[in-house]
């Protein structure tokens, strides 16, 4: 599966994702959501050797990143800070 692999996440004090990143790249959460919705990029994470695609749930400023197809919120996973 091709796409940008997320290997780090920055969260604010309330637990919302502010920034995601990987090897040589980094995006603000809002920008990442816009790029996903407009199908400009694909994001993936690796869990137990398997690549899982990232999607978006919610509307407008309440949108958040999730694992597809289950809709498990990405901010509930443990990632190192970028």
Segment 5-24, tens digit of pLDDT: 999 999 999 888 999 999 99
Question: Which domain covers residue 60, as residue numbers?
Answer: 4-76
Number of domains in the chain: 1
- Asked, for residue 39, whether it belongs to a domain, the answer is yes
pLDDT at 70: 86
pLDDT at 2: 62
- Asked, for residue 82, whether it belongs to a domain, the answer is no
- Asked, for residue 29, whether it belongs to a domain, the answer is yes
pLDDT tens across 31-75, in order? 999 999 999 999 999 888 888 999 999 988 889 999 888 888 888
Share in percent of the chain as helix, strand, coil (round to 5)? 20, 45, 40
pLDDT above 80: residue 3: yes
pLDDT above 60: residue 1: no
The position carrying tokens 């978006």 is 56
Residue 44 CA, chain-centre distance (Å), reads 8
- Asked, for residue 81, whether it belongs to a domain, the answer is no
What pTM was computed for the model? 0.85
CA angle 63, 64, 67 (to 5 degrees): 135
């Amino acid at each position: 599966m091709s796409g940008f692999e997320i290997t780090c996440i920055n969260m604010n004090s309330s637990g919302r994702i502010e920034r995601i990143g990987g090897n040589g790249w980094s995006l603000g959460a809002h920008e990442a959501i816009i790029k996903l919705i407009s199908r400009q990029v694909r994001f993936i994470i690796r869990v137990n050797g398997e690549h899982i695609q990232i999607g978006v749930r919610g509307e407008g400023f309440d949108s958040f990143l999730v694992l597809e197809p289950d809709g498990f919120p990405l901010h509930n996973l443990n990632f190192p800070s970028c």
